[in-house]
């Protein structure tokens, strides 16, 4: 009978959790729960590290479309089958992926982009920009884009152009399209 | 069981040896990365700083650079400065520390390329700076050139990288001056 005594003593030392709480914490089958946790963790790591990069927006150059301190995701697979399109809001890398610019593509490879009295001219034709809500008075000389270059700019053009980070981004700097 | 224990022990010893090797003889990339992090830390300061501390910090910061260092900073709409030599850096640091309320500098992304002779290297990095009292974050990609001098990696050149460049201005179709 010493084995029974030992088991009884052990049970007395570690009080059993109520059944409903045990199921809520570790599920009916703890092994399956553990496998689910591992799969979920690996999936989250792969998705949020390599496919959908979570970002927090700083600065007001994309107002009013994107507010400061809002959170978004950059889809790195967006341009797997086709190139960036005009109007896309994209993430542009600097030295790495921890800090990036967020801008809108207005000029595509081979085009000539200019600003005249606040209007964007693409190959001398005015670009319709429904996302542009504020007044703008920029005048910038024409810029001819090369084969793998895109012209990017923010939606908030109320400040003088020299205070607004904008210009030509090469294709390899565009890391993905904003998801939301 | 004895064999398994011996194998595990041998593997642990090998792992410890490898770890010790990397700790005692770090790669140039690791040394440079640590040095650049130190530079960012030394460049940061808070408002409550005495004159002596300010002087010591300027001296410390200058120690990260070679005597003939050349620094060209050009952040459009914000900072435009050229420095030559350690003395100019010290002066600039003292001036900045006495006028600004505080500064926090970080290098969130650092890409290091070491030249095969392992005596010089280039670091492409993102500088993230926040001035106390200012809402906007300063973000700029920069290129640091380093050289190994007396066993120490010193910065010999700092230049601004234009992430969004405007390089190809198209010549005006109608010349502003018409010679007749």
| Structural domain for A9, as ranges | 2-49
Q: Which residue has the higher pLDDT, A117 or A14?
A: A117
DSSP string, A90-155: EEEESSSSSSEEEEEEEE-TT-EEEEETTEEEETTEEPP-TT--S-----EEEEE--TTEEEEE-S
So what's the pLDDT on residue A13? 58
Residues A27 and A98 in one domain: no
The pLDDT tens digits for A166-179 are: 899 999 999 999 99
Where does the pLDDT of residue A93 fall: very low under 50, low under 70, confident under 90, or very high at 90 and above?
very high
Give B83's Cβ-side CA count (13 Å radius).
Answer: 23
Residues A144 and A77 in one domain: yes
Give percent of chain B above pLDDT 90.
44
Q: Is CATH 3.40.50.280 what the domain over B25-160 is classified as, yes or no?
A: no
pLDDT of A62 strictly over 60: yes
So what's the pLDDT on residue A100? 92
Sheet arrangement for strand A125-126: A125-126, A119-122, A112-116, A140-144
The residue of chain A with its CA nearest to that of B144 is A95
Q: Which residue has the higher pLDDT, B75 or B44?
A: B44
The residue of chain B with its CA nearest to that of A124 is B173
Domain count for chain A: 2
Residues A134 and A89 in one domain: yes
Q: Does A127 touch chain B (CB under 8 A)?
A: no
Give B65's Cβ-side CA count (13 Å radius).
Answer: 26
The span from the CA of A42 to the CA of A65, in Å, is: 33
Select the residue of A94, A160, A162 nearest B141 (Cβ to Cβ). Answer: A94
Residues A65 and A41 in one domain: no
Give percent of chain A above pLDDT 70.
92
pTM of the model: 0.78
Taking the CA of residue A98 and the nearest CA in chain B, the distance in Å comes to 6
So what's the pLDDT on residue A4? 62
Domain-wise residue ranges, chain B:
25-160
Residues A34 and A65 in one domain: no
Residues A45 and A93 in one domain: no
Mean pLDDT, residues B128-157 taken together: 89
So what's the pLDDT on residue B125? 94
pLDDT of A52 strictly over 90: yes
The span from the CA of A146 to the CA of A16, in Å, is: 70
Residues A106 and A170 in one domain: yes
Residues A73 and A129 in one domain: yes
So what's the pLDDT on residue A36? 92
So what's the pLDDT on residue B172? 43
Owner of token pair 């034709």: A125
CATH number of the domain that residue A114 is part of: 2.10.109.10
Q: What is the mean pLDDT of chain A?
A: 88
Q: Does B152 touch chain A (CB under 8 A)?
A: no
pLDDT of A40 strictly over 80: yes
Q: Which residue has the higher pLDDT, B78 or A102?
A: A102
So what's the pLDDT on residue A113? 94
So what's the pLDDT on residue A89? 95
Residues A139 and A103 in one domain: yes
pLDDT of B170 strictly over 70: no
Residues A39 and A62 in one domain: no
Give percent of chain B above pLDDT 70.
89
pLDDT of B177 strictly over 50: no
Residues 16-45 of A with CB under 8 A from B: none
Residue B151 DSSP SS3: coil
**Contact check, Cβ <8 Å, A144/B170:** yes
Domain boundary among A28, A49, A70: A49
Where does the pLDDT of residue B14 fall: very low under 50, low under 70, confident under 90, or very high at 90 and above?
very high
Mean pLDDT, residues A77-82 taken together: 93
Residues A115 and A76 in one domain: yes
Residues A14 and A100 in one domain: no
So what's the pLDDT on residue B178? 36
């Amino acid at each position: 009978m010493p084995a029974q005594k030992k088991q009884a003593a052990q049970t007395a030392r570690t009080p059993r959790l109520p059944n409903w709480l045990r199921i809520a914490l570790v599920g009916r089958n703890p092994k399956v729960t553990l496998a689910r946790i591992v799969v979920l963790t690996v999936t989250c790591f792969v998705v949020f590290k390599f496919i959908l990069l979570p970002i927090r927006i700083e600065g007001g150059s994309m107002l009013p479309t994107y507010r400061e301190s809002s959170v978004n995701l950059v889809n790195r697979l967006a341009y797997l089958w086709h190139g960036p399109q005009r109007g896309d809001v994209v993430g542009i890398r600097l030295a790495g992926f921890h800090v990036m610019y967020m801008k809108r593509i207005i000029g595509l490879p081979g085009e000539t982009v200019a600003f005249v009295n606040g209007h964007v001219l693409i190959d001398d034709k005015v670009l319709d920009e429904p996302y542009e809500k504020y007044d703008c008075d920029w005048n910038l000389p024409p810029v001819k884009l090369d084969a793998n270059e895109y012209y990017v700019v923010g939606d908030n053009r109320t400040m003088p152009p020299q205070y607004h980070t904008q210009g030509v981004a090469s294709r390899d700097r565009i890391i993905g399209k904003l998801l939301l | 069981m004895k064999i398994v224990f011996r194998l595990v022990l041998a593997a642990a010893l090998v792992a410890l040896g490898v770890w010790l090797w990397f700790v005692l003889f770090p790669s140039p990339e690791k040394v440079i990365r640590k040095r650049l992090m130190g530079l960012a830390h030394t460049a940061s300061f808070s408002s409550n700083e005495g004159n002596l501390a300010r002087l010591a910090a300027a001296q410390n910061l200058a120690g990260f650079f070679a005597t003939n260092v050349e620094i060209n900073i050009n952040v459009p709409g914000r900072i435009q400065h050229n420095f030559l030599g350690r003395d100019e850096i010290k002066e600039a640091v003292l001036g900045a520390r006495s006028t600004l309320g505080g500064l926090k500098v970080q290098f969130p992304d650092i890409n290091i390329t070491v030249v095969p002779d392992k005596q010089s290297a280039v670091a492409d990095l993102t500088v993230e700076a926040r001035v106390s009292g200012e809402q906007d974050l300063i973000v700029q990609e920069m290129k640091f050139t380093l050289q190994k001098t007396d066993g120490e990696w010193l910065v010999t050149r700092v230049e601004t990288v234009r992430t969004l460049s405007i390089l190809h201005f198209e010549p005006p179709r109608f010349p502003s001056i018409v010679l007749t």
